[in-house]
Amino acid sequence: DVKVTQSSRYLVKRTGEKVFLECVQDMDHENMFWYRQDPGLGLRLIYFSYDVKMKEKGDIPEGYSVSREKKERFSLILESASTNQTSMYLCASSPSTGANEQFFGPGTRLTVL
């Protein structure tokens, strides 16, 4: 079974803190994604990585950065958390060939106070 795990299910941080969200996949997938999910807005792509150390901005990259030092791990970084970054964050992975499905982790619900 493909498994995508995220480091925390729930996280509470204070405004201005640096926040790290970690995602690990065990299927040797080339592609990894970070989305945020907000009611009424669906899933919006923050960043996409298609290889180690390679990244591409998604639709809403402002206020976020990413790191992919190893193939299986993709980190999302909030340099200085703000209250408008309170959201559900979903990580996904997919193989690079064909239009294969994306496999999702369980999500991290982040609250910034």
Partner 1 sequence: AQSVTQLDSQVPVFEEAPVELRCNYSSSVSVYLFWYVQYPNQGLQLLLKYLSGSTLVKGINGFEAEFNKSQTSFHLRKPSVHISDTAEYFCAVTQGLGFQKLVFGTGTRLLVSP
Under the binding rule (CB under 8 A), the answer on residue 105 touching partner 1 is yes
Binding string, residues 22-51; x marks residues near partner 1 by CB under 8 A: ---------x-x-x----xxxxxx--x-x-
Among 4, 46, 78, 110, interactor with partner 1 by CB under 8 A: 4
Size of the site for partner 1 (CB under 8 A): 25
Q: Three-state DSSP class for 78?
A: strand
Q: Which stretch binds partner 1 (CB under 8 A): 14-22, 65-73, 75-83, 89-97?
A: 89-97
Under the binding rule (CB under 8 A), the answer on residue 8 touching partner 1 is no
**Cβ atoms 81, 19 nearer than 8 A:** yes
Q: What is the largest CA-CA distance in the chain?
A: 42
Instruction: Point out which residues bind partner 1 (CB under 8 A).
Output: 4, 31, 33, 35, 40-45, 48, 50, 58, 90, 92, 94, 96, 98-99, 101-102, 104-107
